[in-house]
Structure 1
Amino acid sequence: MKRRPTVLASVITAAVIGTGLAAVAPPASADTAGCSVSYAVQSRWPGGFTAQVSITNVGSPVSGWTLAFDFPDAGQRVSQGWSATWAQSGARVTAAGTGWNGSLGTNASTTIGFVGSWGASNPAPRSFALNGTACTGEVSPLPRDAMETVAAMQPGWNLGNSLDAIGADETAWGNPRVTETLLDHVRAQGFKSIRIPVTWSNRHGPAPDHTIDAAWLNRVREVVDWALADGFYVMINLHHDSWQWINTMPADRANVLDRYNALWSQLAGAFRDHSSRLVFESVNEPLFAGGSGDEQGYGLLDELNTSFHRLVRASGGANATRLLVLPTLFTNADQGRLDALKATFDRLRDPNLAATVHYYGFWPFAVNVAGHTRYDAAVEQDLVGTLERAHATFVTNGIPVILGEYGLLGLDHNRPGVLQRGEVLKFFEALGHHARSRNITTMLWDAGSFLNRTTLTWREPDLFAQIKSSWTARSGTASSDQVYVSRTGAITAESLTLTLNGTDFQGLRHGSTELVEGRDYTLSGTVLTLTAAAVTRLVGDRAHGVNTTVEARFSTGVPWRIGIISHDTPSLTDATGSTGSFAIPTEFRGDQLATMEAEYADGSNAGPHDWTSFKEFHATFQPDHGSGTILLKQALFDEVTDGAPVTLTFHFWSGARITYVVTKSGASVTGTANRS
């Protein structure tokens, strides 16, 4: 390569990280990591420079490495490099080893370099990381067993609806293309592991080889390498393949098994020499169609998991001891499913295995049906029971558990209002605590409803703050995060019951002002009461909606935000329409819809889920506060008797209940407001 003329005659040692190239580490055991780096500017001229980077691996031997660092100045760029594969995204620079220097034994070194440009200044990078390990010159122990590895993965995040999306490419389900900047941002939020779901169904060829598309495999490898360079533990799998073709195994066992084995053989070979922080998961949410039931499903899943284990281990390299993750049938924690997977572990007798289950909440609460609008004892019991069964079956027997996906089914930024915010906060606060107390690693399922991947901002910062806090501490909550005050009635004192969760109440704050106990509020046991005078001041001009918020603060965790809301009783108006489009004109008047009941004149339940009068939010009805309507869905009318009046009872969060009668006649619907 032709070099530019040297303007700066002397070599500038810009930074030496750790002990530099002279470092000689003690012999490294099989479970250590460590590195040192020397960075030197060799020549510089206006707007450009060359730099040399010398790397020494002082830990265990590595097969395949990526060095990562950040330029301190926004104008610094790598234009070309040598002895490594160089890439840059924003300030982050990565250099991956090539064939001739891709492996580094203990105390082995390699030197790489690049030509760069600079703008206002050209400072040296402040820190470097090799395969995610900070290059300080020190040797750090890596987790010695599966239990330690899984503990080091806490907390985790799912890159959902990207590489698992079914369609033309990874953007098919609405998320932008994955970038290094996205992964950097997620890492900066405190996540230590990332699950990268991958769907391979339409990304490989026909039998017998089922050759994976090279471009797709390279793209997956690229994202994996970025994540490893960020210091993540990374988990990849076969994702929607589970219901696209693996589920046909009862009727097509040989072909499914051949295809499954072909994919994992290729993946094991492709990632054979990757860092031990790369983790393989055999299959996502396995299910089998047309079979004879759970017992057959247990046998088929055991066959897949066993074959996966055999293929990966036999491929050698880092795969000989790589952490492998095996799911239960449907990836749920019913005791029979846990016991069946435990039998597989007992037979494999491999210390580098982990179990995985998923959890999306007590179903009636998670989708808002059957009147389960609150995080109550039934919701808590379901949560605790799920985690406790997984803990008792696996963790107490030395097998780590990864909650590979968790969330709430009805929590979707495209379907606002299904779940009340305060009740959602209680759920995530409790889940974090109960998982942590049982040594279960959690991986948040995020398909875009938590982190906006375009703006790299949390859609609900308070919710993420609660989730993050739950990783280390409990937070206090209350019976509600809403205080409804009649807009026209007399203002009175308002009370909430605190749930301390082992914390101590520290006080109330309004903005930057501390409220005064005795004057603004009182506390009797766990009953917190805002005085009438304080409520009068807080509601201000009493405009409909949230007038202001106050914060209850506790000794640990995040504050509990309480909205002070002015409202009048909502008003519904007569309407006509069709079963495919029926909207009730509604004046919400500061109130919010909680749920809806549907009953015939004789008191029997109407509509879908006829075992309950309370219908499923969004599936059968949906408020639109912006347009001032409540939309009744086709799914409701599909299961309503023609000509039979149905009384709908709308329950609002203020406590208001309003009835409305609808009658279907063929495809036509009439609606009448209650005049009482």
Structure 2
Amino acid sequence: MATLLAGMGVVAVTNAEAAAGCKVVYSVPSQWQGGFTGNVAVTNLGDPVSGWRLTWAFPSGQTVTQAWNATVTTSGSQVTATNASYNANIATNGTVSFGFNGSWTGSNTAPTSFALNGVTCTGGTATTTTTTTTTPPPTDDAMAATAAMQPGWNLGNSLDATGSDETSWGNPRVTAALLDNIRAQGFNSIRIPVTWGQHQGPAPGYTIDPAYMARVKEVVDWALADGFYVMVNIHHDSWQWIANMPADRAGVLARYNAAWTQIATTFRDSSPKLVLESVNEPQFSNSSGAAQNAELLHELNTSFHGIVRRSGGANATRLLVLPTLHTSADQARIDELTTTLTALKDPRIIATVHFYGYWPFSVNVAGGTRFDAVAQKDLTDSFDRVHDSLVAKGIPVIIGEYGLLGFDRHTGTIQQGEKLKFFEFLGHYARAKKITTMLWDNGQHFGRTSFQWSDPELFAQIKSSWTTRSGTASSDQVFSARSSAITDKSLTLNLNGTSFLGLRHGTTDLVRGTDYTVTGDQLTITASAITRLSGSRAYGTNATLSARFSQGVPWRINLITHDTPVLQNATGTTSAFAIPTAFRGDQLATMEAKYADGSNAGPHNWTSYKEFDRAFAPNYTTNVTTLTSDFFAEVADGARVTLTFHYWSGAKVTYHVTRTGTSVTGTTS
């Protein structure tokens, strides 16, 4: 770590209006060949600032390629950062922070002089650089190494694809540039799932194609060169052929052992920051029950452990990761894994589970539209079990995959604000329980060639959760019916240990007491403010507000004008049926389906609330609501089904569909 300290005196510049002075802390938390991440914290030592501009010069010709929490522009070596809409004001002794990704050649010398709104910051400029590629990992301590792996990211649907090539599931070939850019986002570890079976030869050798092994090693070596901790496993083989172990115990074990013998040999001398995981989401088909499942997984885990340890080199002490059955956090599954860990007596083992949330919320079925108390308790119960059974006893834990199952289709399956609350709380609670997390990304989050987040707001919340809490609210939507007079609207603030600072529209602070009031945890936006900000009141979002808190990211609130959606009669088939829908500014939350006798219709017939996207899906561009073939596949022929569409405004609209063979008729009454 290199540290440069400038003079610590405060210089006050006096003019007709204000005194000025500032201090800047510039840090480089990660650096790799040709790139780096920079963080800048600016403390205002003078009178309050409303709107700021920070300037500096890079000594070594570095350039800024991407920034967050500020707009950063460059002209030659000169750099200018200006405030975002939500952090324009800096109180006396207040601090704002922003970050950026940059590139460098030759050297990455830190700047030594900064100016805030034209005034040189001489109140102390501290510069620290930590080059992660040269910092020795704490591999002598499994708990410390696991903590250093936080946060982690999954390179999903690439080398784990079950086709003939890593592109067979739609992602491009992995590049070193992709890994460089993921490292720049602040991730310290990367899980590289690998499916080996389609690249293995026949018995008895089960030889892995040398070209494929070399490709996996190439990607692993790129990641290690970037300073990542890297986890490699046996992935979809778990359900492709390992699951057949109850029927072919000897054959499956021979193939599994052959695979790990070759993998262990290949990576025998790799950096100790390479971590090996025995198998992903282990499962067994047609077993006799829980006891046999536990026995088979114990055999796989212990066999893997012995093969890797006996292969020598760095593998003799390499960190190894062992999963529970199905990577479940259920107590019985944790207890089964604990039995294996006790038998192995190896302090260099990490336990792993996966977490995709409370299932009805995770896929949006059975009315699970919100991250409510039930969904939150599912999370806390899971993390508490893992902590109390493993972490508290000195066994480190990695959540090797986390996310929401609805993301497998697209991230819009779960409403945005509810999604943000889930990830905010998950990051917080994982930190509290000392559990390392690895975000599952099959290409839907970080663009594999664009190197941009598909949902920057989501990633900002995830990244913030790694270090602090953010305030949220009961909703990110405030609906006002155009057919009615505008009234005051209230939201419940979830402060999460923060303090509420204020409400802002763009760069303008709204006036407390006039535009909004706060009583306890109730934020009320006044009718006069909604009227002014809604303008002509076109259907949809008329204005976006930012609720700002003392830490974390702001909470976005959309002011929406709506009226009850209007549906029309329609005809179609079981494979192509769409209801013309004038959404009129509203958005669909869920749909119920019942027969005339009140029983539940369609798939998941234990609930009247159907699965979003699987059974139905709104399209706000084409103004239709589609009922899928999956839905009609489980609707009785000739029966009339009453649908109830629930919208986020609280509106409900009923509709009727009748299936006759493959023909479908839909009516509004």
For Structure 1 versus Structure 2, the TM-score category normalised by the shorter chain is: 0.7 to 0.9
Whether 2:359 is the aligned partner of 1:377: answer: no
State how far apart, in whole Å, the 2-side matches of 1:373 and 1:134 are: 43
Identify the match of residue 188 of structure 1 among 174, 184, 193.
184
State how far apart, in whole Å, the 2-side matches of 1:294 and 1:235 are: 28
- SS for the counterpart of 1:452 is coil
Aligned residue for 1:294?
290
Aligned residue for 1:11?
none
Aligned residue for 2:143?
147
Letter in 1 for 2:433: R
- SS for the counterpart of 2:198 is coil
Identify the match of residue 268 of structure 1 among 264, 267, 288.
264
Aligned residue for 1:499?
494
Aligned residue for 1:508?
503
State how far apart, in whole Å, the 2-side matches of 1:69 and 1:123 are: 8
Q: Contact conserved, 1:143 with 1:152, CA < 8 A, in 2?
A: no
Whether 2:64 is the aligned partner of 1:69: answer: no
Letter in 2 for 1:463: L
Matched residues, percent identical?
63
Whether 2:558 is the aligned partner of 1:563: answer: yes
- SS for the counterpart of 1:410 is helix
State how far apart, in whole Å, the 1-side matches of 2:652 and 2:473 are: 23
Q: Contact conserved, 1:549 with 1:561, CA < 8 A, in 2?
A: yes
- SS for the counterpart of 1:390 is helix
Could you list the per-position Cα deviations for residues 239-260 of structure 1 after superposition, in whole angstroms to 9, with x for gaps in the alignment?
A: 0000011000001011111111
Cα drift, residue 68 of structure 1: 6.5
Q: Contact conserved, 1:411 with 1:418, CA < 8 A, in 2?
A: yes
Letter in 2 for 1:514: D
Cα drift, residue 145 of structure 1: 1.2
Cα drift, residue 494 of structure 1: 0.9
Could you list the per-position Cα deviations for residues 380-439 of structure 1 after superposition, in whole angstroms to 9, with x for gaps in the alignment?
A: 010111111111111111100000000000124x53532100000000011111111000
Whether 2:423 is the aligned partner of 1:428: answer: yes
- SS for the counterpart of 1:613 is coil
Cα drift, residue 537 of structure 1: 1.3
Aligned residue for 1:218?
214
Cα drift, residue 572 of structure 1: 0.3
Aligned residue for 1:4?
none
Aligned residue for 2:237?
241
Mapping for residues 453-492 of structure 1, pairs under 5 Å: 453-492=448-487
What TM-score do the two structures reach when normalised by structure 2?
0.81
Which runs of 5 or more structure 2 residues have no equivalent in the other structure? 3-30, 36-59, 64-103, 110-130
State how far apart, in whole Å, the 1-side matches of 2:275 and 2:140 are: 15
Stretch of structure 1 that moved more, 275-284 or 603-612:
603-612
Q: Contact conserved, 2:32 with 2:180, CA < 8 A, in 1?
A: no
C-alpha spacing 1:68/1:511, structure 2 compared with 1 (3 Å): closer
Ranges of 4+ aligned residues in structure 1 off by more than 2 Å:
67-75, 122-127, 132-135, 139-144, 414-417
- SS for the counterpart of 2:315 is helix
State how far apart, in whole Å, the 1-side matches of 2:353 and 2:591 are: 33
Letter in 1 for 2:586: D
Q: Contact conserved, 2:32 with 2:133, CA < 8 A, in 1?
A: no
Whether 2:334 is the aligned partner of 1:338: answer: yes
Q: Contact conserved, 1:70 with 1:125, CA < 8 A, in 2?
A: no
Letter in 1 for 2:192: I
Could you list the per-position Cα deviations for residues 595-636 of structure 1 after superposition, in whole angstroms to 9, with x for gaps in the alignment?
A: 000111222211111111111111111111111111111222
Cα drift, residue 576 of structure 1: 1.1
Whether 2:343 is the aligned partner of 1:361: answer: no
State how far apart, in whole Å, the 2-side matches of 1:126 and 1:546 are: 44
Whether 2:668 is the aligned partner of 1:673: answer: yes
State how far apart, in whole Å, the 2-side matches of 1:418 and 1:123 are: 43
Identify the match of residue 200 of structure 1 among 196, 200, 213.
196
The number of residue pairs the alignment matches comes to 558
Q: Contact conserved, 2:478 with 2:557, CA < 8 A, in 1?
A: yes
Which runs of 5 or more structure 1 residues have no equivalent in the other structure? 1-16, 19-66, 76-121
Could you list the per-position Cα deviations for residues 532-560 of structure 1 after superposition, in whole angstroms to 9, with x for gaps in the alignment?
A: 11101111111111112101111111110
Could you list the per-position Cα deviations for residues 107-140 of structure 1 after superposition, in whole angstroms to 9, with x for gaps in the alignment?
A: xxxxxxxxxxxxxxx963348xxxx8555xxx85
C-alpha spacing 1:364/1:512, structure 2 compared with 1 (3 Å): same
Cα drift, residue 73 of structure 1: 7.2
State how far apart, in whole Å, the 2-side matches of 1:466 and 1:387 are: 20
- SS for the counterpart of 2:612 is coil
C-alpha spacing 1:284/1:141, structure 2 compared with 1 (3 Å): closer
Could you list the per-position Cα deviations for residues 177-234 of structure 1 after superposition, in whole angstroms to 9, with x for gaps in the alignment?
A: 1111111111111000000000001112111111111111111111111101100000
Whether 2:585 is the aligned partner of 1:590: answer: yes
Whether 2:542 is the aligned partner of 1:553: answer: no
Whether 2:412 is the aligned partner of 1:417: answer: yes
State how far apart, in whole Å, the 2-side matches of 1:454 and 1:188 are: 15
What TM-score do the two structures reach when normalised by structure 1?
0.80
Q: Contact conserved, 1:69 with 1:125, CA < 8 A, in 2?
A: no
Could you list the per-position Cα deviations for residues 254-297 of structure 1 after superposition, in whole angstroms to 9, with x for gaps in the alignment?
A: 11111111111111111111110000000000000011112101
Aligned residue for 1:439?
434
State how far apart, in whole Å, the 1-side matches of 2:139 and 2:460 are: 28
Identify the match of residue 632 of structure 2 among 629, 637, 641.
637
Aligned residue for 2:156?
160
State how far apart, in whole Å, the 2-side matches of 1:348 and 1:134 are: 32
Letter in 2 for 1:643: G
State how far apart, in whole Å, the 1-side matches of 2:510 and 2:132 are: 47
Aligned residue for 2:107?
125
C-alpha spacing 1:589/1:148, structure 2 compared with 1 (3 Å): same
- SS for the counterpart of 1:618 is coil
State how far apart, in whole Å, the 2-side matches of 1:244 and 1:74 are: 48
Aligned residue for 1:311?
307
Whether 2:286 is the aligned partner of 1:285: answer: no
State how far apart, in whole Å, the 2-side matches of 1:201 and 1:73 are: 48
Q: Contact conserved, 1:200 with 1:238, CA < 8 A, in 2?
A: yes
Aligned residue for 2:643?
648
Q: Contact conserved, 2:257 with 2:307, CA < 8 A, in 1?
A: yes
Whether 2:404 is the aligned partner of 1:404: answer: no
State how far apart, in whole Å, the 2-side matches of 1:438 and 1:201 are: 36
- SS for the counterpart of 1:557 is coil
State how far apart, in whole Å, the 1-side matches of 2:467 and 2:273 are: 23
Cα drift, residue 468 of structure 1: 0.5
Pick the structure with greater CA Rg.
Answer: 1
Aligned residue for 1:608?
603
C-alpha spacing 1:194/1:524, structure 2 compared with 1 (3 Å): same
C-alpha spacing 1:500/1:123, structure 2 compared with 1 (3 Å): closer
The alignment's C-alpha RMSD in Å is: 2.0
State how far apart, in whole Å, the 1-side matches of 2:646 and 2:258 are: 54
